[in-house]
Amino acid sequence: MSLKKILSGTGVAIVTPFNEKEEVDFDALGGLLKYIVDGGVEYIVVLGTTGEAPVLSREEKIEIIHYTYSKVNGKVPVVVGVGGNNTHALMKDLKEFPLEKATAVLSACPYYSKPSQEGIIMHYEALADHSPRPLILYNIPGRTGKNMTADTTIRLSRHPNIQGMKESSGDFMQIMQVMKHVPEDFLVVSGDDAVTVPLIASGLDGVISVAANAYPRKFSSMIRNALSGDFKTATAINFSFLDAYDMMFAENNPAGIKAFLSEMKLINNICRLPLVPVSASLQERIGRFVKDFQDK
166 labelled catalytic: yes
**For the chain, domain boundaries:** 3-230
Catalytic option among 71, 138, 218, 258: 138
Helix, strand or coil for residue 48? coil
Pairing of strands 104-108, 78-81: parallel
pLDDT of residue 1: 77
- CATH code, residues 3-230: 3.20.20.70
Catalytic option among 4, 61, 146, 166: 166
Residues of the chain with pLDDT under 50: none
Which segments of the chain does DSSP mark as H helices, in order? 3-7, 26-38, 58-72, 87-96, 117-130, 141-144, 150-156, 172-181, 196-201, 216-227, 231-249, 255-263, 280-292
Summarised one tens digit per residue, pLDDT across range 237-292 is 999 999 999 999 999 999 999 999 999 999 999 999 999 999 999 999 999 999 99
Q: What is this structure's pTM?
A: 0.97
Helix 26-38 × helix 58-72 angle, to 10°: 40
